[in-house]
Structure 1
Amino acid sequence: MLEVEKMKRLRYKKPLEVSLTGMIASSMDGGHIDNCISIFEHMKAHCVPNIGTINTMLKVYRRSDLFTEAKELFENIKGVDHGGTTIIPDGYTYSAMLEVSARALQWEYFEYVYKEMSFSGYQLDQSKHVTLLVEASRSGKSHLLEHAFDGILEAGEIPHPVLFTEMVFQAIAQENYERAVTLVNTMAHASFQISERQWTDLFEKNGETISQDILEKLLDAVGHCRMASEVTVSNLSRSLRSLCRPGSSGDLPRANSCIEDTDDPRINTKSGENCRQ
């Protein structure tokens, strides 16, 4: 703080809030969380924190699993005029709040932040939020996953493979086979492919919610899929036939695994010929 007072007297200097935010970030990197909070409280007596400061503090709270403090800060900044300066949450602000809410298993607040982010015009970052959405979906917020999936398609982007398979398995668990087939048709030409082995692993992983009877009904529905010749769809059919008639599974061709590094190691995002049956 003595150094900051000296900086204030310099002719050429960065804005005070930038310097103090840098001190908070440095303290966080050093693991001195109490110092981060102390500097932030001291800062408020000398200047108005900007959105960069707020985002840095949210990062501090996220790393420390301080959900209540993050929520309070997030709520207090919105729409407040600080001496002519209005702080407006940005994409990083919403991203940090989604993460801190998920870590605290606060799924109601997670939904609140997600909706506000959408209304504010910020788009989902699949690389950061895909696993959070799946966790939220499995905690009773499946409509958020569906909203995100549809929004990604409307934006002309390809949903992450994990989002796709989770949507399919939600539809299957609800015995909505028409919806499951529609999803498979939609993603048949995606840049990623899912092999027979990967489909089988996913079914086995979800074995508690998907019975043999459901698998047989899904196999019948997939048989009428208009994209039946596409690799991902044909691999799904092979997997289902193998699971429904285990006695004949040895006669079925097995798919090459072709597993790449993704958020879900069972999903293949490589579309080369070596992944084709």
Structure 2
Amino acid sequence: MARNRSDKREVDSFVAESLTGEGTKTNDGNRPKGNVHLEGGSARMSLLILLSIFLSAASVMYLVYRNFPELNNDEKEKMKIPKDMEDAKALGTVLSKYKDTYYTQVLVAYFTTYIFLQTFAIPGSIFLSILSGYLYPFPLALFLVCLCSGLGASFCYMLSYLVGRPVVYKYLTEKAVKWSQQVDKHRGHLINYIVFLRITPFLPNWFINITAPVINVPLGVFFIGTFFGVAPPSFVAINAGTTLYKLTTAGEAVSWNSLFVLGILAVLSILPVCFQKKLQQKLE
């Protein structure tokens, strides 16, 4: 207990003083110019390291793509990170064609792409969650999405721990300090709190990922909370993908039922947003 309180005070003090500069002022109340240059240089160096890691990961993605079966020109155009439901449907059509014959290649491509997006906080993972319901049975799809989300978020956590602290200190000071205070309130049941944050829209996932190591959230707790926390919203997305697959393959025979299910899932997905204020008041 004493150790946790000491760690918390150290983190809060370090975050607040590093970003506001109150811990580095001279006797006349001004911050020394050399320190400002040092902080700027540290942030720039972190961004350069992050860029190098990103390029290395992009190279791995390129190798995965090169190992994929030979595609025709029309299929190559559809092999891109989906930005909307039409893109996800087109990509699912291509992948489902090769899934049975090249099961491992398709699974590896899906797995690495999802983790890549999560690691670098690139939009599009929600459509990959929908795509999992299009390609795989529900239990496997749910496990894949939870595992990819947990691993990708954890890699983002480790990147932030390695090179992201100066960026957090420079641009996210106030929010990081506030969340640090909230985390300390729930330190005794931190897994439940992380699960709650993943389900509800109080904090963006990218913000949780990059600030968690700065405010002393343990990596193991972070992974477990993320793994289970993304399950409820993923349930909605995967069911949408399953319904989309039925619409695509079965036609009008199931279209009305499928559209009804999609409507119910859409309503369920926005309930946390509608009750955001009430949930936050209970949490606080």
TM-score range, shorter chain: under 0.3
Greater RCO, 1 or 2 (C-alpha within 8 Å, sep 6+): 2
Q: TM-score, normalised by structure 2?
A: 0.25
Q: TM-score, normalised by structure 1?
A: 0.26
